[in-house]
Structure 1
Amino acid sequence: MEQYFNEYAEEVPAGETSRALSRAAAEAGVCVVGGTLPERCGDRLYNTCTVWDSSGKLVTLYRKMHLFDIDIPNKITFKESEVLSAGDQLTVFEYNGVKVGLGICYDLRFPEMAHLMAKEGCSLLIYPGAFNMTTGPKHWELLGRARATDQQLYVALVSPARDLAAGYVAWGHSSLLDPWGAVLHQLDHRPGTLLADIDLTTVEEVRSQIPIRAQRRTDIYDTVQKS
């Protein structure tokens, strides 16, 4: 998979994928969080998620911060850092009065990142990702529920469908988790559409009933953003 990053990389927002996402957002009149694409920026490549408003204008982008460098013997070895550069900025955007935070795939494993986005007022975190057939069944839903529970917000996990003929096989199972950590909706491994309304009053209800945000012992520990 790593060999394709350079081949398919494009600039944002001038590239073909960006133009297609911009058109799709404008034609549908909706905000589009456009999954990820290999972004070329100077001599660097990033795994990047772009966001487009209902007029097709680029709202913001997020460059994956945590690169997927793992080695599980006899199952999967992957080293994104051989090709990709890591982003160094959190991305939070506001649309129609709702603050949304972005992460990509492996970022889901880092609660500090989610905490900082929640601290900035996010009610929803969106993670486009493609967990594999080893980590997907073990951790995809588990980590999504953990982030929803520990930050008391909605989490959307968005995966490609499973293609057994592909060089990298995704687990699939796009999901929506609520602030209680419950799975509200979930697809299986096949192509599909998940359409759901989100009740933001649930976020405040959970946070008021279980007030962990106010009870954190910041006199002893804290999570801070350095840049």
Structure 2
Amino acid sequence: MFAAAVQLQSTPDRDRNLEAADRLTRAAAKAGAELVVLPEKWPALGTPEQTIAAAEPLDGTVAQWAKGIARELGIDLVAGSFTEQGEDRHSNTSLHVSPDGEVRATYRKIHMFDVEVGGRVYKESAHEAPGEEIVVSETSGGTGLGLSICYDVRFPELYRILAVRGAEIIAVPAAFTFATTRDHWEILLRARAIEGQAFVVAANQVGEHAPGIRSGGRSMIVDPWGVVLATAPDTETFVVAELDLERQTEIRRTLPSLANRRPSAYAWPDQVTA
């Protein structure tokens, strides 16, 4: 099968972002993509206040657009993520929509981006509540599809569970900061692919979204051996690659690190000092 990662430079302008996402999703499908992944918070991305102001319900504009275009193009669509309205705090939510236009799975980002990077403090938990559910969906062709979002990629335990639960492809919509994209992005994606012996389709944001808020691009598709199949240049675009599922089966057979796990020997410490 063929998969595509769409790379956007989203802003607080929802109409502009929707037009870009629609145009590039159609172009990716025309290029043969059967699975298309959009980046994190593509409908609106700016300052925290601007991003939160664009929150919408689960069945709002984003879901309606995603269901319509997936049905029209006959593709599996991971509609990146959007800010889902909540009562007290919102959620960072990703949808998997099948070619029949139905939402097959909903994932809410588990790990909150509460960090200091490049001299800037990010406090995602101030506005968003973490999800509690690990989600594995299935493409229309029956391939296991694991869902994750951005900062999740730094938590290998999540990706191991996705693989053990049947994920053969893992989607990573992201708005990785410029600094961490340059130094960590590719290494983390390749590590998660190798550990889970899974394809990783990672769609990143690129460029400046608001003063001082900048993403690093380099959207990429990685195979289960850790080989980068495609990497996007630093502009709004998409990349597409063929996912050789037979090759994946062979990798898992000959180097059976998933089968050789020993869960009974693994125990989390009662306390972990950060």
Fold conserved between structures, TM > 0.5: yes
Aligned to 1:4: 50
Q: Report matched runs for 1:134-153 at 5 Å.
A: 134-153=179-198
Task: Describe the SS at the equivalent of 2:253.
Answer: helix
Q: 2:137 aligns with which of 85, 93, 101?
A: 93
CA deviation map 1:64-97 (0-9, x unaligned): 000000013x532101001100000011101211
Paired residue for 2:128, among 66, 81, 84? 84
Asked if 2 retains the 8 angstrom alpha-carbon contact of 1:5 and 1:83, the reply is no
Q: Pairwise mapping of residues 1-227 of structure 1 onto structure 2 (< 5 A)? A: 1-13=47-59, 15-72=60-117, 75-95=119-139, 96-163=141-208, 167-221=212-266
Residues 26, 53 of structure 1: 8 Å contact kept: yes
Please give the alpha-carbon distance, in whole angstroms, between the structure 2 residues aligned to 1:52 and 1:167: 33
The letter of the residue matching 2:87 is G
Distance in 1 between residues matched to 2:70 and 2:251, nearest whole Å: 32
The 3-state SS of whatever aligns with 2:65 is helix
CA shift at 1:19, angstroms? 1.1
SS in structure 1 of the partner of residue 238 of structure 2: coil
Amino acid in structure 1 at the alignment position of 2:93: T
Instruction: Write the distance in 2 (CA, Å) between the matches of 1:205 and 1:98.
Output: 16
1:121-156 residue CA offsets vs partner (Å, 9 max, x unmatched): 111111000111111101111100000011111111
Write the distance in 2 (CA, Å) between the matches of 1:119 and 1:45.
29
What is the TM-score with the length of structure 1 in the denominator? 0.92
Mapped to 1, the partners of 2:61 and 2:212 lie a distance apart of 23
In structure 2, what is the Cα distance between the partners aligned to 1:118 and 1:103? 12
- For 1:46 and 1:35, locate their aligned partners in 2 and report how far apart those are by CA, in whole Å: 13
Structure 1 segments, 4+ long, off by >6 Å, are none
Secondary structure at the residue paired with 1:213? coil
CA contact (8 A) 1:159 1:174 kept: yes
Q: What is the CA-CA distance between 1:47 and the residue it aligns to?
A: 0.5
The 2-side partners of 1:22 and 1:42 are apart by: 25
Contact preservation (8 Å) 1:75, 1:134: no
CA distance in 1, matches of 2:156, 2:166: 16
Q: CA RMSD in A?
A: 1.6
- Look up the SS of the partner of 1:44 in the other structure: coil
- For the residues of structure 2 that align with 1:57 and 1:41, how far apart are their CA atoms? 22
Against the structure 1 CA distance between its residues 222 and 30, is the aligned structure 2 distance closer, same or farther, given a 3 Å change threshold?
farther
Q: Is the 8 A contact 1:76 1:134 kept in 2?
A: no
Which is further off, 113-122 or 188-197? 188-197
CA distance in 2 between partners of 1:19 and 1:164 (Å): 24
CA distance in 2, matches of 1:174, 1:60: 23
Aligned counterparts of 2:160 and 2:204: Cα–Cα separation in 1: 22
The percentage of aligned residue pairs carrying the same residue is: 33
